[in-house]
Structure 1
Amino acid sequence: MHRLAYYRVSTGDQTIDAQRTALGGGFDQEFADEGVSGATLAASRPGFADLLSKARSGDTLYVYAVDRLGRDALDVQATVRRLLDLGVTVHVHGLGPIGRGVGELILAVLAQIADMERQRIAERTRAGRNAARAALEATGRTHRGKEGLGRPKAADGAAVALWRRENGASIAATARQFGLSVATVKRYCAQRPTAAGDASLAKMG
């Protein structure tokens, strides 16, 4: 019998550390999907597919939340039934182990609630974009006073990479210096400078 853990985060700027900490650690095997949208079926995610191929009867799978187990309520239910059929106990943080019968029913209800909440968030996001677009066309600024719809860039990638090189700083130190995530700094430092970027760096130097 093994203790398994599964984590998922949607964007490259997020990490699985918070989920790992919440679940307590000490697992025999851990599986993760990082930068994988929750709209992807559980079985189609590389990390979860690997988990399904290695899980055995008697194992217990720990997850942080119901929505880690599937794209929507139906996918969550199908995933849990598949795991139960394999003889795997599913343990949801804050909920406990899920068994057949009542446990499956409770999980189905929670998955449906999570599904409804995702839909409400999507509706609010669309409404906000529409309001911003209308205000931008009418006044040149969004309803929140921004000059565009896009998210402002956290920092100039070339400047971040240059500062790191000049100071011989680590990725983590550079992230702290600019108030960025480690993933963002890695992305900036991995980018090859364009001709315009070279000229910018030359001026900065």
Structure 2
Amino acid sequence: MTRIAYYRVSTGDQSVEAQRQALGGGFDREFADEGISGATPAATRPAFAKLLSYVREGDTIYVYALDRLGRDALDVQATVRRLLDMGVTVDVRGLGPIGGRGVGEIIVAVLAQISDIERQRIKERCESGRMAAKASLAATGRTHRGKASLGRPKAADAAEVATWRRENSASIPATMAQFGISRATVARYCASA
């Protein structure tokens, strides 16, 4: 009986360390998918695919929360059912071990549906925010958050960078240092001027 931990975070700037600490350690093996959305089917994630190859009957997989397995209700249910059919127990922090058939499957089904609903709500909130930003930008020239454009703000003013570089006969590295911008940004800003 092997104790296996599975961690997942959706973006590259997040860390699985909080999940690792919450689960408490002491695992025989750990698998982590970092920077992979919960909307990606579990079996196609690199670390989870390795976990599926590694796991054996009698093993227990520990996860921080059911949504770490995925946000799509059907995929979560299929993943848990696949593990249960292999004779593997899934232990969800705060929920406890889910093994065999019956009540555990009902709990997984309900929680998977909640995860799926939350994913839809996140998409709706994002779309609502984009629509509000576009409407405000069209009406006032600024988004509802006060930004001058949609998306990420510009690293610097392109005309100012090009003018400074030309007036100072500055190299690309000197211009990078002056404005705190990347080589590609300097090249792009100066090529368009």
> Is TM (by shorter chain) over 0.5?
yes
Q: Is the 8 A contact 2:38 2:69 kept in 1?
A: no
Counterpart in the other structure of 1:198: 173
What's the offset of the Cα at 1:10?
A: 1.0
Equivalent residue of 2:175, what SS?
Answer: helix
Deviations 1:19-50 (A, max 9, x none): 00111111100001111111110000000000
What's the offset of the Cα at 1:148?
A: 1.8
Aligned residues: 165
Runs (5+) with no aligned partner, structure 1: 157-194
Counterpart in the other structure of 2:24: 24
The amino acid across from 2:102 in the alignment is G
> 1:28-47 to 2 correspondence within 5 Å?
28-47=28-47
- TM normalised by structure 2 equals 0.80
Comparing 116-125 and 49-58, the one that deviates more = 116-125
Provide the alpha-carbon RMSD of the alignment: 2.0
Deviations 1:71-112 (A, max 9, x none): 411111110111111111000011000122111101100110
Counterpart in the other structure of 2:114: 113
The change in CA–CA distance for 1:133 and 1:202 in structure 2 (over 3 A counts) is closer
Equivalent residue of 1:57, what SS?
Answer: coil
The change in CA–CA distance for 1:14 and 1:197 in structure 2 (over 3 A counts) is farther
Q: Is the 8 A contact 1:42 1:71 kept in 2?
A: no
Q: d(CA) in 1 for partners of 2:178 and 2:134? A: 36
Q: d(CA) in 1 for partners of 2:16 and 2:97? A: 21
What's the offset of the Cα at 1:152?
A: 4.2
- TM normalised by structure 1 equals 0.75
Q: Is the 8 A contact 1:7 1:63 kept in 2?
A: yes
Runs (5+) with no aligned partner, structure 2: 157-169, 180-193
> 1:31-180 to 2 correspondence within 5 Å?
31-99=31-99, 100-152=101-153
Equivalent residue of 2:76, what SS?
Answer: helix
Q: Is the 8 A contact 1:90 1:98 kept in 2?
A: yes
Equivalent residue of 1:70, what SS?
Answer: coil
The amino acid across from 1:147 in the alignment is A
Q: d(CA) in 2 for partners of 1:151 and 1:4? A: 39
Q: d(CA) in 2 for partners of 1:196 and 1:89? A: 61
The amino acid across from 1:41 in the alignment is P
What's the offset of the Cα at 1:202?
A: 5.5
Larger Rg, first or second structure (1 or 2): 2
Equivalent residue of 2:145, what SS?
Answer: coil
What's the offset of the Cα at 1:199?
A: 3.2
Deviations 1:47-79 (A, max 9, x none): 000000000111110001111123411111110
